[in-house]
Structure 1
Amino acid sequence: MTADDHPRADPSPPAADVLADVAKATSLREGREGIATVLRIVASYGPLALRDLARLVRMPLPVVSAIRRELETLKLLERGQGVALSATGRAFARDELGLEAPQPEPAAPGSPARPPRARPADDAGDTLDPVLAPLLPAMETHLADGPKVDVTLDQAPCTAETALRRAFAMHQAGALAGRRILLIGDDDSLSIAIGIVARALSAAPRRLTVLEIDPERLAHLERGAARIDFPFERIAHDMREPMPEALQGGFDVMATDPPYTLPGMALFVARGIEALAAGPGLPVFLSYADLSPDDRLDLQARLTELGLAVLRMRPSFNRYGGASILGSVGQLIELETTSRTASPLAGQRFDGAIYTGEIRPRLRRYRCKACAALVPVGADQAVTTIEALKEAGCPQCGAHTFERQRGGKKGRGG
């Protein structure tokens, strides 16, 4: 259905700059994105008691009250059984925010306000919300078609359950419907999960773009997009290079599951910042390893240097298949841009080490079970991984089975 198929409310919805005008009128530090968040929450969970709305948007009650008054003056909100979108507000949410706003549910005379829909608990693990359970087979089918893991790129694809839960977490945060989303690296196939979840919840993003260095992963995503009939942009790109000019400033949501080193994490997030529009309050989703307190403090310091504010940390939210580098689990960190968010690398190439094998190289030796030849394997060797050695075969006899010799030492730079 096109926008022309919907009868417009009378009067016509205000122009999109109303968000900035209301933010200025209420001196809202979150800027226009904060006003958009209020409208998104009301569209998804309204009618709401004002106190519940303040809790869901994480703003002080007096601030939300002031926002409500401004939006009521503009006839975007109305009162009744709680704070709700008016007919004009629903048209605005649809046309300007890209939301498929639900129609209001009629309430019986004298009945209490309908409570907000419950949000899933932030529990770790693979527990699926009931709305996601029917979507799991499609995600599992996609992952079963995946290429071999390239450990030199710190690839560690997450489980089908985690991919769906991550996409659903983005939806819960108002970061899916009508959004312009950039994924920095996607060996987790989050793009496919977003497509599956968005279709099930009528929460299609306005734009979805994936930057990925691995051509086999890109081909896998192409097959997945065709299978679920959800087209999106897929671009081959090395994050060491600056963000392509055509993508700079073109997104309002960014998500990444970067290399599990601080330099790699900081690089991927910095590149994502280059692609985000200016202004505070834009959502950033970072998947990273569960860390010790000291390492977690270092991570937070890096994020602070980039001008990002931590909104929520969910330990052990992510599950990975065979990801020994992560202990098979990892955290999901929800961040927001601020007025000080900036990339120190904008327009510059990054020539430092970013992957685990580069920063903490280890030399391992494998004995061929056929001829007993010893083959060194490491980041600075002719053969970099055991997977590559098994595929190529023993350089002496060509056999493909090996036994690791214990006592491997750290390589140069370890």
Structure 2
Amino acid sequence: MKNYVEQVNERMTLQEGTQVVEQLLLESYLHPGISTKELARKTLLPVPVAAAVKRELIKTGALIQERGVRCTGEGAEWIEREWGYEGLDRSFHQALLQKTEWDDELNAILAELETLFPLRPTVDVRIDQSKCTPETSLRRAILCLKQHSLIGKRILCIGDDDLVSVAIGLLLQRLFPSGGHTATTIDVMDIDDRFIRYIEEVAKEYHLPIHCHRVDFREQLPLKLCGQYDAFFTDPPYTLQGMSLFVSRGIQAMKRIKGLPIFLSFAHKSPTFMLAMQREFVRMGLTVCANFPHFNEYEAAEMIANRSQMFILRTTDQTEPEHIGIFTDALYTGEVRQTLRTYQCKQCAQQIYVGIHGQISTIEQLKNEGCPSCSNDTFDMIEKRAVSEFKDFT
């Protein structure tokens, strides 16, 4: 059977990539009779470009112009079979895309999560774990759905003490009430065996399409997990190094396709930190698609006022991980605060001490200010010493 998206990509080159063709086709399936102007609005394309993509999809036989734009019978069957939309509760799906408040349908899913969340293992503060609320976990799943990045996709959770995988799995069951949906898979990578065991137990009990892998993100990502996923979630340690490492591992795990989403939860930080953080996004070839302050709520996380922000990042044709090999820098909050680290400029090789008693307090400050000798803003960490090793350092 024809792959309509590939056919269009063979005929026209779009800076936005294949994802926008997929989205336009999907919007036509979900909203029969949609206007070209509305397609442009939903895909963020100029109207002439949306019209051109529409015309190409009509040529392939996927769409028809008839009282607006809609899928042909053949096109609709292809979407249901290839993208996994067969059996979808269309009314519930449409309501989720539009609603902003909880209702009875969502409260039923939330009730299940509220029975599961208290049974989670206790957090390990040494690796910066914190527990989000059941509502937050479900909101993340719905956000993924609204980005058309859930149904029929391979989704990855880089660390999952928040049980986002479970929330996605339960949401899928409600979206496909007759069962039999196998097009969506959810994988979890985590270093904590306790959470892996718990998620596996829940997945088995509720028949959720979740697979877990024990992964230490300091080590190289196993080759079998690279280039496999359409989207990933992560709520990394709230250090610049932690964010950069976890996002890098996610990039390695993603398919090499432009426009794929990354759902990054992170603490609200100072302007200086946020500038350094966004430099990291640019360095990794990522764009910020959206930002939602106070999106995430946590239990007993007073240090961040129990709230954090949600970024939606998207890949580009320049996306590359910042870290590929073994990671030796300080990663977690406690490590960063209690170490003196020596960084070497990648351009001129000058060494700079960063951290407690160092020349510069934080790596984000160093990257913002640049190397004192050449102003370059990329560095290698070449040495790390614990506070007990340099009490007399001056």
Tell me which interval the TM-score lies in, with the shorter structure as reference length: 0.7 to 0.9
* Pair 1:76–1:224, CA change in 2 (3 A): same
Output aligned runs, 1:341-352, within 5 Å: 341-346=319-324, 348-352=325-329
**Secondary structure, aligned partner of 1:199:** helix
Question: Who wins on radius of gyration, i.e. which is larger?
Answer: 1
**Secondary structure, aligned partner of 1:132:** helix
Say which is worse superposed, 172-181 or 88-97, in terms of deviation. 88-97
1:307 partner amino acid: G
Normalising by the residue count of structure 2, what TM-score does the alignment of the two structures yield?
A: 0.80
**Secondary structure, aligned partner of 1:241:** coil
Is 1:267 the equivalent of 2:271? no
* Pair 1:90–1:243, CA change in 2 (3 A): same
Quick one: distance in 2 between partners of 1:339 and 1:214? 33
1:147 partner amino acid: P
* Partner in structure 2 of residue 139 of structure 1: 113
| Contact residue 258 and residue 265 of structure 1 kept, 8 A | yes
Output aligned runs, 1:335-414, within 5 Å: 335-346=313-324, 348-361=325-338
**Secondary structure, aligned partner of 1:266:** helix
Q: Which of 19, 27, 45 pairs up with 1:33?
A: 19
Quick one: distance in 2 between partners of 1:221 and 1:329? 24
Is 1:171 the equivalent of 2:179? no
Is 1:50 the equivalent of 2:23? no
Quick one: distance in 2 between partners of 1:119 and 1:207? 21
Cα deviations across residues 262-302 of structure 1 (Å, max 9, x unaligned)? 10010000011111111211111111112233322222111
Shift of 1:146: 0.7
* Pair 1:160–1:99, CA change in 2 (3 A): same
| Contact residue 97 and residue 178 of structure 1 kept, 8 A | yes
| Contact residue 191 and residue 215 of structure 2 kept, 8 A | yes
1:65 partner amino acid: A
Gap runs ≥5 in structure 2: 340-385
* Partner in structure 1 of residue 172 of structure 2: 198
Quick one: distance in 1 between partners of 2:33 and 2:89? 11
**Secondary structure, aligned partner of 1:320:** strand
Quick one: distance in 2 between partners of 1:132 and 1:200? 9
* Partner in structure 2 of residue 326 of structure 1: 304
Quick one: distance in 1 between partners of 2:87 and 2:17? 22
* Pair 1:228–1:101, CA change in 2 (3 A): closer
| Contact residue 315 and residue 332 of structure 1 kept, 8 A | yes
Shift of 1:21: 3.2
Quick one: distance in 2 between partners of 1:102 and 1:359? 47
* Partner in structure 1 of residue 83 of structure 2: 97
| Contact residue 257 and residue 316 of structure 2 kept, 8 A | yes
**Secondary structure, aligned partner of 2:292:** strand
Shift of 1:101: 7.3
Say which is worse superposed, 130-139 or 311-320, in terms of deviation. 130-139
Q: Which of 224, 230, 233 pairs up with 2:211?
A: 233
1:139 partner amino acid: L
* Pair 1:56–1:62, CA change in 2 (3 A): same
* Partner in structure 2 of residue 66 of structure 1: 52
Is 1:183 the equivalent of 2:157? yes
Shift of 1:54: 1.4
**Secondary structure, aligned partner of 1:318:** strand
**Secondary structure, aligned partner of 2:138:** helix
2:110 partner amino acid: L
* Partner in structure 2 of residue 407 of structure 1: none
Shift of 1:102: 6.1
| Contact residue 226 and residue 254 of structure 2 kept, 8 A | yes
Shift of 1:90: 1.1
Quick one: distance in 2 between partners of 1:199 and 1:103? 10
Say which is worse superposed, 48-57 or 241-250, in terms of deviation. 48-57
* RMSD, aligned CA: 2.5
* Partner in structure 1 of residue 288 of structure 2: 310
Shift of 1:131: 4.0
Shift of 1:134: 1.9
Identity of aligned residues (%): 34
Is 1:218 the equivalent of 2:196? yes
Shift of 1:19: 1.6
**Number of equivalences:** 338
**Secondary structure, aligned partner of 1:211:** strand
2:166 partner amino acid: I
* Partner in structure 2 of residue 162 of structure 1: 136
| Contact residue 220 and residue 326 of structure 2 kept, 8 A | yes
Quick one: distance in 1 between partners of 2:90 and 2:68? 11
Normalising by the residue count of structure 1, what TM-score does the alignment of the two structures yield?
A: 0.76
Q: Which of 228, 234, 257 pairs up with 1:279?
A: 257
| Contact residue 157 and residue 188 of structure 1 kept, 8 A | yes
Cα deviations across residues 89-141 of structure 1 (Å, max 9, x unaligned)? 11221232222376999xxxxxxxxxx868447x7xxx536642221110111
* Pair 1:79–1:117, CA change in 2 (3 A): farther
Cα deviations across residues 147-204 of structure 1 (Å, max 9, x unaligned)? 1110111111110001001000000101100001111000000000000111112386
